[in-house]
Structure 1
Amino acid sequence: MATKYKRPEQTLVDPYRFEPLPVDRPCAIYYRQSTDAQIGNINTTLQTVDMFEHLVRQGWARDSIEMIDMDAGVSGTTKLADRKGMARLMALIESGQISLVAAQEVDRFFRDVTQIQTNLFIDACKRNNVRVMTPRMVYDFNHPMMGAYHMKIFREEAQHAADFLEYHIKGRLHKSRAYLHEQGLWAGRAIITGYMVDMRPKLPNGSPNPNHRRYVPFAPCADAIRVYFELFKRFNRNMQKTWEYVEQHGPFLPEPEEVAHLTPEGFRTDMRMDYRSMFTGRIVPSLSGIDKLLTNVVYMGHWVHQGAITRFYNHEPIVDEDLFMFAFNALSPLDFYGDPNPAYQPYRTYNRHDAKDRTEAPPIYGGVVFSDAPDYLHRRLHTQWNSHNQVYQYALRNRRGVVVFSVKASRMDLSIDTLLLERLKATTIDETAWQAALASTREDGHSELRRIENEIRGAERAKTAILENLKTLQHPEMVRNLEASYAANEREIERLRAVQLELRQGKRQREVLEDARPVLNKIIARWQDVPAANRRELFEALAAYAKVKLLDEVRRELTIFWRDGSTSSVIFRWGDFRQHWTQAELQRLREMVDAARPQWEILKAFPHWNWHTITCRYLNHFSPDRRFTPYYKGEKKYPYRIKWHETEEYRAEQEALNLATSSTSLQ
């Protein structure tokens, strides 16, 4: 066989020349700082503003440069996948969206001693022909002649950065800092709120400063912290009440700008607390923050390093020892050495009682009652057990978890039962109302239900096919696409099942009404014997939800929104009639007593209470000497235990009303 020949291979790239920068394609700038404290320094400007302008001068359009700055405060030793910014950069490289990535130095990419992350980055750039630019050099890992050399230089730069971190920062500087900490001196970490650091090596008279690098109380914050301890003692170790008082009334901590202005020359402060009161918008400790603050031994003058007290009475305390130990023993189950605290006396023990010991049944309509308060429109009321009063209640809580208002579950359920019973009675009398109730429920939707079920089965088959394909595929891009398709099918199935549940619920509501119709009269007659679960089913079949509105301190208005679009309302009192009066009722009582109105008129104005309860209300609110007779000069002819409906005036009023009704009917 004759020898075969071919044309000489021609390389499109001159191996001895570098290609011009790809300014016609997008590029990216990678920015990273190791700690939050470094953000905003001169290095930040070099990595962002200066590098951006450098790329513009090289020929890139401003809108083709992407700034990747999500890794502010992230260590260079962190893996690629664990850095949001680096993960974004790798995605751009792998997808071929950029032609170059720029950084101020190689150490901005990595400080990896193992070089594993460095090699992964080099490999990605080489495969996708992406260059790396620093102010001193452009690395082209894919160059036919210089690529291997550039990879070697890049690895060496990354290794130098890792060695600097390992041997200089950790080996020398960290040891020096640890030595200062062990001596009770500040070495650059965050400064505890309430203190400032004395940075003066010498005093004004030239003598050495004994407090150099030690904590000194910073009065604007120290005074507030001292009050926090006193408030905790005033509220008898109740952390929740202490924090609620501080958040609403203070004392508040100064703003960071004010702290900087008030810091004396030669001292250093560090205001890191940024939680703000929901009432005033000013800075206060959070609930967890004040808990840690009240157990921080630094405020008693001790020095802590790596979680251990290394020096006792190291600096001037802010809180005296007795006050601090009162708070510490109330909050910390461990002593200063991590052993069990023998003096631990918590506010109370949180021993959960057995639910079987509760004295009343759970609320019937939990989950369907909402708030109509101005600041909490259509906010669901949660049901909870009030262990103090031994009752269930519906409660509305704000975002801090504090109860805005509550209603006894028995009163709420009774009010809903009353309106529901009236609705059922109306449907038995009026056939039109019954048909409207049926029409208001969701239609059977049998065909729609079958369509949804078929779509669910189709999505399940698609998931199975994707899993089979994933067993054989190796290409990373195709694997990612299939994983995304699998997740999309999961979300679609979840949505379809929610629609399926709604359709079946509508069918159940209609079945409940149809089954109840033959025995509805018996249900109405023996309503008290109907189980709670069946009452709940009847409510959900006829009504969409209920809302509660606050009218005053005691009265609540309940409104039920029926499925046919109509509403029913009732006003009830949230607590016991004998104990809970509105301010308007108390004021009316005072005016009637001061005006010497007859006893029967006062009883008529307050028909739910007897004379004894009425006089006790007056004594509690308006009598300084706890006496009633000197202040009431009106006519009194009935004993203390009598109510309005037991008086002669009530009977006479009823007889007159009956007589007037009889006369009207005769006419």
Structure 2
Amino acid sequence: MTRKSSRKKPAVTMRCAVYTRKSTEEGLDQEFNSLDAQRESAEAYIASQQNEGWGCLPEFYDDGGFTGGNMDRPALHRLMADIEAGKIDCVVVYKVDRLSRSLLDFARIMEVFDRHKVAFVSVTQQFNTATSMGRLVLNVLLSFAQFEREIIGERIRDKIAAQRRKGKWTGGTPILGYDVDRSGPSPKLVVNAAEAARVREIFQMYLTMGSMLPVVEELERRGWLTKTWKTKSGRPKGGRPFDRGSLHALLKNPLYIGKLKHKKNLYVGEHEPIVSADVFQKVQTLLLRNRHSGSTNSRNRHGALLRRLLYCKACGHAMVHNFTGRGTKQYRYYTCTRAIKSGRRACPSGYLPAAEIEQVVVDRVRAIADDADLVSEVVRQARELAEAELNRLRAERSDLERELARHHAALRKLVADGPTDGNAVARVADLQEAVTRAESRLAEVGANITDREAEQFEDEDFATAFQEFDNTWNALSPREQAQALALLLNRVEFDAGDSSITMTFHPSAIKSLATDLNEEAA
């Protein structure tokens, strides 16, 4: 009587995918071809590791008739997608060059494997990243790949520097006043006459008004926007209202006087200047003077307490502060920017007397201190606002991480291809600039998320803040009153239909508000 073994097969803990490749289609119609031989060897190796919990997945990842010199292979794409989906623990090949003949591509694939903790085994070369020796060999290969990437990167940077020394535009975000002509071997800047006229007027505005904030407000009043352009995929970009940052970047840009900047050096560009060197230099001098003096001209000289806080409920646009009159007699009012841009028929808000709406807002805020129910309601709204903002920041962080991954993938591909023509070099420069912007914004968003996650506020914090606001309001100067409201309020909406207002508060400012008010009133 034969005895049956009671030993059970170990459970599969290492799901193994076999990848095979052959450069030509020759012989693939045979009953047992090269791909079959590669798979048989890989399956035999997996079977030898059965006691370690290895098991072969039934899916076939076979690329017959595809070169290993690039990653444009359907089975490889399926393999990578399944790895991203968490379906694979180990990839087994007959030889390393079956996966890739390119060291850079191999390094990119290994980065994906490492990110998803997927092991890699080459059957005939004793290469197994599940072991310490295999990881050592992998690190050596990746070091060479990184070295090759850096060498190619240096060549690209040298070419960008050489092109800029020759006055050639090497890419970047399109700017107001110029269009990009990509019809030739290298992209060129050509003057957009209508935009150029606006740029010249903006430079003159700054010299006349003396600081950036009045210029920003005037540009908003006129409805002038930043440069509108499209990405290669056709997605529209730009076309936003000016803020101090975008205005400062425009006023500092030497492209407008026909110069190209590389690091700290300026070179004469091939493109036509649209601002005179004399005007540009006067603007730089004024920018420097304002930076040292704190730009005193940009202070709230007309006592607009709701500047950058007041919005029109009917259309959602900001309401900006204006005034009219001569000498000491002035009439102050707020106007919806949509009505300014498109005429009064576009928005029902009309002209809103500034002193009246400001007094209503201040009285509402001061009254909250005496009503516990109102304080509790403000706390509830503030918490909802804080949670919504935190969710928005988290979503933005995810979007930025995906954007960075796309930019890095595109850069790696361009670097691996070794771009030589001007458009390719400009594309690399564009991507590097996009990566820098995205990384900077990601760091900023991450810091904001950390701060908001650490925030804790209670009813008592709000009650104290509103009480201090009420106690010290009359002791504050108009500028300090505007700062206190900006610190406390997130948004004030005016409904022209029933002349009502809705206020939302800054949850993150509550704890510091009482201290700030005490310091200002002292």
TM tier, smaller: 0.3 to 0.5
Higher relative contact order (CA 8 A, sep 6+): 2
TM-score, normalised via structure 2 length: 0.41
More helix by share: 2
